[in-house]
Structure 1
Amino acid sequence: MKTPAGIYIHIPFCAVKCMYCDFYSIADREDSIPRFVNAITTEIEKCEIDTSDWEIDTIFIGGGTPSLLKSKYIESILKSLQTKYDLSFVSEFTIEANPGEAPKDRLIDFRSLGINRLSMGVQSLDPDLLKFLTRIHSVEQVFETYENARSAGFDNVNCDLIYSIPGQSWKVWEQDLNQIIDLELNHISAYTLTLEKGTDLFKLVKEKKVRMPENEMTGEWFLKTHQIMETNGYGSYEISNFSKSGYECQHNLHYWRIHPYLAFGPSAHGFDGTNRWNNSRSLDQYLQQIESGNSPVSMIESLNEKDRLNELIGFGLRMNEGINLERIPENYQRQFIENLKIAQKKWEGCFIQNKKSISLTKIGMVYGDAIGVDLMLDKD
């Protein structure tokens, strides 16, 4: 039986670099798009990873803002993938788009290329919070882009939202949720705003110009958010992700289930089942390396059995399906059970256990990172 797998393509271009965003992106470089497309197609052609035992069933084009690219460029990238890999099993093909940066005719072209899932970076429906987050779209453009996506033939649309933003009230967040729910999207991702080193937000907080909400409030909002979503037919299948039945993001499930995936583009991270790698986190370095016939990979890490188990624990706790106990190697089962017993006493009421899996209750998910550390095996 072949291993389910995915492909990730990173498009680094953005109109503006958002103040909270830690993903690699670069503004004011649209003139480099043709050169970038030539480079990424070359990277795909030269990839030597053996995928003969994989069944590639998802593709995800992320960024950055992939919808800034004309469809002819996306088509070039797709053609190079089709030439190199068997894409006949692909059932979910996602592209990210920002409201106001995905014209209707471009969405129609994307859909005609076989892209069947659109992920919209909405973040907020409050004009003041959009301004704080340095988002350049308007609230009206959210609804316009959504309507355009539906009329272009996208039957699977996701919306990314952020909460626990400085200055955001529960009332404003609840209004955002209800307005988005009323649109009847297929999938909603609701992330708490996190402080990432190297971002403008991190600098503002360090300089005490901005104060982040307290953890206690964030935990309370997390629980109330899950309750609202599930009451409205959006089941949570991962800590920040909710969907109508059958619309879970299969590509992200590859990540959380520790499946292999190819990755192309600057800063892209990939996994072949044993090794994790990432490409250079600089567009210029990435272009230079490929154009000079070199690999753009800047780091490779080989995972041993214990590393993979710790990833299985960490990612498993994020999902409703939990940690698949059948995937725990026999030689580590005793140590894992010992760690689990200690954690169950420390984190009472946070675990759901059955014969095949260990997962967290909603309260447990609030403390998921700390619980994960307690369950993981010590490094050699």
Structure 2
Amino acid sequence: MDTKAVYVHVPFCEQICHYCDFNKFFLKNQPVDEYLSLCDQEIKNTVKVHPNHAISSIYVGGGTPTSLTTLQLSKLLSSIKENFYTDRNVEWTVEVNPGSVDQEKLEMMREYGVNRLSIGAQTFHEDLLKKIGRDHQREDVFHTIELARKVGFHNLSIDIMFGLPKQTEEQFEETLNILTRLPIEHISAYSLKVEERTVFYQLWNKGKLSLPGEDIEAKMYELLREKMKNNNFNQYEISNFAKNGYESSHNLTYWKNEPYFGIGAGAHSYVAQVRRINHGPLPKYMEAVKETGFPYREEHPVSRKEQMEEEMFMGLRKLAGVRHQDFQEKYHLNIEQAFPGVIQDLIDRGLIQDNGVVIKLTESGLLLGNEVFERFLLNE
């Protein structure tokens, strides 16, 4: 299968959010220009080994890509554009931190072909923004959207979070009311997960992190789904909603279990049925690229068994579900043969539905997705 997607990681931030466990570093005093040069080298070497792939999706994430100067970000985008062959309808996304981008930077991105922005709003309450360690204010989100529209972006996505420390249902509803009035095409909404190596994890271990309970979080999720439906945002994945035609093709790459290139410190890739993880620490990433041309810390050939597992627990995240015919054509095995007894058990528990053509999560299954996904982990 051709690799049609590219993820490029920019690990620099001007502020470290309390919930973030992605590979990131404070921007100040970092070797940014050297890092970008080595990313360029990794890109060139990747294309040499895997030539002639027509890329239909590019995602530049972080970290905070827009924490780079206009010149630095231009250097990165230039490397991507010059080395990867992209098809005419490529979706090219850059993550944007509200307040960290001006008109000049947006115009530069448009010139290189960037046509989609993912804006990290998280919440529209100033007190909650401070609690989670964000360095922007709600007005910065509105200003960023206004600038993006002015420059000519017609595909804008907003990230929000729920289940934040001491967040109430009323606060979340207000955020949703503001969100649905904005001129945007896509919304990603994630519940807070307390991950290791974060400020919140340290606070949680000390008993100093007050979070809404599971019942309140479930009510927030139900409210989210209701508000999205009533405002013409179609839910196409557990946490993602889009106006018609604006579903994220890059995210769908992951949920369809399709291959993708991963560039940069800590990036993951999945090419030719091998998953690779790049070194995360900057010194190790840079040293590896200099010495071998590639920064791989770990390489794992994905077995047929693992591919089938991933096909199910990634595919069931999509509201479209998993088609029996697609699974059969990929693995020359039907789903019931691959996972004997699992489908009927989940149907009996009311967590999935199967009409003989496609398997999908039920309403209850959407709330208990992890329980469903775990059932598709095959025993050796």
Q: TM-score range by the shorter chain?
A: over 0.9
Displacement of 1:310 after TM fit? 0.5
SS at match of 1:263: strand
Structure 1 residue 331, shift from structure 2 partner: 4.1
Equivalent in the alignment of 1:44: 43
Tell me the SS of whatever aligns to 1:182.
Answer: coil
CA deviation profile, 1:4-57 (whole Å, cap 9, x unmatched)? 6200000011001111001111113354221111110011112254254x4310
* Corresponding residue SS for 2:94: strand
**Map of 1:372 onto structure 2:** 373
Q: How does 1:98-247 map to 2 (within 5 A)?
A: 98-247=97-246
* SS across alignment from 1:160: strand
* 1:320-355 deviation line (CA, Å, top 9, x unaligned): 11123222434463242521112222x22x323233
Residues 138-158 of structure 1: per-residue CA shift (max 9 Å, x gap):
111111111111111110000
Q: 1:281–1:359: structure 2 CA closer, same or farther, 3 Å change rule? A: same
| Alpha-carbon offset, residue 104 of structure 1 | 1.9
Name the CA distance, whole Å, in 2 between partners of 1:310 and 1:377. Answer: 7
Letter in 2 for 1:342: D
Kindly tell me: are residues 376 and 354 of structure 1, through their superposed partners in 2, closer, same or farther at Cα, counting changes over 3 Å?
A: farther
- Report the secondary structure of 1:18's partner residue: coil
Q: Offset of 1:374 from its aligned partner?
A: 1.6
2:344 corresponds, among 338, 341, 350, to 341
Q: Which residue of 1 aligns with 2:257?
A: 258
Letter in 2 for 1:213: P
C-alpha separation between the residues in 1 aligned to 2:272 and 2:254? Answer: 11
1:73-96: CA deviations, max 9, x gaps? Answer: 333333333443321345210000
Shift of 1:284: 2.0
- Which position in structure 1 is the counterpart of 2:12? 13
CA 1:273–1:230: 2 relative to 1, 3 Å: farther
Please say if residues 117 and 155 of structure 1, whose CA atoms lie closer than 8 Å, have aligned partners that are also in contact.
yes
Output the CA distance in 2 between the equivalents of 1:14 and 1:101.
10
* Seq. identity, %: 30
Moved more, 61-70 or 245-254: 61-70
Q: Could you list the runs of 5+ residues in structure 1 that have no partner in the other structure?
A: none
Q: C-alpha separation between the residues in 1 aligned to 2:161 and 2:270?
A: 28
Corresponding residue of 2:358 = 357
Residues in 2 aligned to 1:9 and 1:316: alpha-carbon distance in whole angstroms: 23
- C-alpha contact 1:22 1:198 (8 A) present in aligned 2: yes
Distance 1:30 1:64, change over 3 A: farther
Q: How far has the Cα of 1:253 moved from its partner?
A: 0.3
Moved more, 208-217 or 75-84: 75-84
The TM-score, its normalising length taken from structure 2, stands at 0.94
Q: What CA distance in whole angstroms lies between the structure 1 residues aligned with 2:294 and 2:137?
A: 40
CA contact (8 A) 1:313 1:376 kept: no
- Distance in 1 (alpha carbons) for counterparts of 2:89 and 2:28: 31
Q: Is the 8 A contact 2:42 2:293 kept in 1?
A: no
Q: RMSD over aligned Cα, in angstroms?
A: 1.7
CA distance in 2, matches of 1:81, 1:110: 12
Superposition TM-score, scaled by structure 1 size: 0.94
Q: 2:347 corresponds to which letter in structure 1?
A: Q
Counterpart in 2 of 1:283?
282
Instruction: Work out whether residues 237 and 321 of structure 1, in 8 Å CA contact, stay in contact via their aligned partners in 2.
Output: yes
Residue 362 of structure 1 aligns with an amino acid whose one-letter code is E
CA shift, 1:375, in A, is 3.2
Matched to 1:145, the amino acid is T
